[in-house]
Structure 1
Amino acid sequence: MSWSDWSGVTGEGLDNFKEIIYEKKHHQVLGGGVARISLNKPEKMNTLTLSTVDEMFRAFYDANHDPSIGVIVVAAKGKHFGAGGDVDWERWGLREAFYNRYPHNRLMRMSRKPIIAQVQGYCIAGHNHMAYCCDFTIAADNAIFGQAGPRVSSPADGFFVPYLTKVVGAKKAREMWMLCRKYKAPEALAMGLINTVVPLEQLEAEVDQWCQELLSVSPGCLEVLKAAFDQEMDGYKESCVTSAALYPDWFDMPEGKEGGAAFVEKRKAEFWSIRQREAEMRQQLLEEYEAHQAERKNDKS
């Protein structure tokens, strides 16, 4: 055996995680180690909340400050890597995420150590852009990738949106984000979204092989290279700046509420009837304003 067994990480601030499992193991020949952060809500398809991100931050911080760790693996328990944000939580939680907190992708962007996303099953929305912001993505043959934001009235902006154009090209990136199509693992591989596809039963062994290759080279050089590659993102705005400027009251608007409500109620969203009603109300307001202006002119004459 080249690897030690996985061991749960303990210490101040690292105990009693509820939404992740944080482990480390070391290569017994090369000497370096791997930190694995596994999302641990399989009963909810590992949906994300700010609590998840808070726990992930602590694990990432520890892994990045442990000189014995050379690679970080982001994985997930259960059948699926994850289905994005928790819709029930998002009704209020996204307001906090947009206006007061950091997005989970910043953990990938700020990490000194290379990160591998280990993906099985659905990898949708926030999990998809978390995976493509990792340095490498290794997928099982049952993996399915895609975005869902426009479908559920969940806007997204910031570095991780335009960064996808560097991963798969501008046309495919817009297709993925605007049309919310889903892509099976072979399609994702063909478009450059992932690095390799293996049978599900070989997924963890394949990740181990990539970790071993990374541990066999200079960790300092990898840190410099990762920082150099990640500067690609530094010219883009931070998350939520564009959304907040265009639609500062998005989450209190009917269109902002409709997508999530339709998803929960398992019905087709009625975006365009809302837009039609908005247009009618705008026209009514304009006509009332013009009538009021005409009255003012008549009064003066």
Structure 2
Amino acid sequence: MNTANFSDWAVVKGEGLDNFKEIVYEKRHHRTLGGGVARIALNKPEKMNAMTVATVDEMFRAFYDASHDSSIGVIVVAGRGKHFGAGGDVNWERWGLREAFYNRYPPNRLIRMSRKPVIAQVQGYCVGGHNHMAYCCDFTIAADNAVFGQAGPRVSSPADGYFVPYLTKVVGAKKARELWMLCRKYKAEQALQMGLVNTVVPLDQLEAEVEKWCEEMLSVSPGCLEILKAAFDQEMDGYKEPCSISAAMYPDWFDMPEGKEGGAAFVEKRPTRFWDIRRRETEMRRQLLEEYEALQAEGKGT
């Protein structure tokens, strides 16, 4: 492929699209085929592109614009710097996840609602929210230094909804549970073997490989691709929206010691104390039950 067939990347301007702080939003067009590519690059390399609700808000505007631009055929999601991303900003999550759970939407919904095929361009760490954003994309192209994995249970960050069971369609039920429950990390070649990514290339060839895939998609009917993407994506609609299970099982999770402990341990760079908390909870439950039974025996009720 001759990369000169593409115009240079140009930052998108316009009402609601200027002055992004969390992302860089760009477009380029193929000189021969005519179609274009939009790139949404997370732009906090000093924080390994950690996401907050503000990041998702900016991504929404870019996705909306690209999805409604008839000259765009493909959307690329990337991360500036050495890493695609390390998930949610843990300092922000200590309060921000309440907003994300009860009043917002995950970045995966942006990919689900996009009319255009989405490619995740991954280098370095692709962990937590960035990992499930990447596997919800239509295609994931990884550099050979990429590392994939989930981290939620390590930092008391619960997850449920379509993007959890959807992973079983990507890598199979056993591997999906392994990924989410054990929080292991997987190198790029391991991710390729399990079907988590489409292809792996040397880091210095990553952008060229993404351009190659974009050019392939621009060479076919954009309308057909939009229909195919919607047909594939409708499978996700059968799953529940995120947070319904968490809210039912642990409605006060973020105010409970276990819900606070993971983030606190991460920030303080110490081991977690989940089972110390559970032990004390068990003791307090037993004590409360004994007190209740004693009152009942005395005929005092509660």
TM-score range, shorter chain: over 0.9
SS of the residue 1:48 aligns to: coil
Residue 263 of structure 1 aligns with which residue? 266
Q: What letter matches 1:55 in structure 2?
A: E
Write out aligned runs for 1:82-121 (5 A). Answer: 82-121=85-124
- Residue aligning to 1:143: 146
**Cα distance in structure 1, aligned partners of 2:12 and 2:235:** 32
Deviations 1:213-268 (A, max 9, x none): 00000000001100010011111000111101110000000000001111111111
Partners of 2:193 and 2:60 lie apart in 1 by: 32
Q: Does 1:48 align with 2:51?
A: yes
1:134 aligns with 2:134: no
- What's 2:10 paired with? 7
RMSD: 0.8
CA distance in 2, matches of 1:242, 1:289: 30
Shift of 1:3: 0.5
Which residue of 285, 291, 298 corresponds with 2:288? Answer: 285
AA partner of residue 243 (structure 2): C
For residues 67 and 82 of structure 2, the distance between their equivalents in structure 1, rounded to whole angstroms, comes to 28
Number of the residue aligned with 1:24? 27
C-alpha deviations, 1:185-239, integer Å up to 9, x for none? 0000000000000000000000000000000000000011000100111110001
What is the aligned length?
298
After TM superposition, what 4+ stretches of structure 1 lie above 6 angstroms from structure 2? none
Task: Report how far residue 297 of structure 1 moved.
Answer: 7.0
SS in 1 for 2:165: helix
User: 1: CA distance between counterparts of 2:142 and 2:35?
Assistant: 24
Distance 2:160 2:112 in 1: 15
Residue 216 (1) aligns with residue 219 (2): yes
Distance 1:136 1:287, change over 3 A: same
Aligned residue for 1:102, secondary structure, equals coil
Post-superposition Cα deviations, 1:78-133, rounded to whole Å, max 9, x if no partner, equal 00000000000001100000011111110011110000000000000000000000
Kindly provide the amino acid, as one letter, of the partner of residue 236 in structure 1.
Y
**Aligned with 1:125 (options 110, 123, 128):** 128
Greater alpha carbon shift after TM alignment, 127-136 vs 261-270 = 261-270
- Structure 1 equivalent of residue 241 of structure 2: 238
Amino acid paired to 2:208: A
TM-score by length of 1: 0.98
Q: What is the aligned partner in structure 1 of residue 253 from structure 2?
A: 250
1:161 match: secondary structure? coil
What SS class does the counterpart of residue 234 from structure 1 fall into?
helix
Q: Distance in 2 between matches of 1:197 and 1:257?
A: 37
Amino acid in the other structure paired with 1:240: C
Aligned to 2:64: 61
How far apart, in 2, do the equivalents of 1:190 and 1:154 lie? 28
Query: What amino acid is aligned across from residue 201 of structure 1 in structure 2?
Result: D
The answer on 1:187 being equivalent to 2:186 is no
The TM-score with structure 2 as length reference comes to 0.98
Residues 83, 297 of structure 1: CA spacing in aligned structure 2 closer, same or farther, 3 A cutoff? Answer: closer
Counterpart Cα distance in 2 of 1:179 and 1:3: 42
Change (3 A) 1:269 1:297: closer
Q: Distance in 2 between matches of 1:84 and 1:75?
A: 13
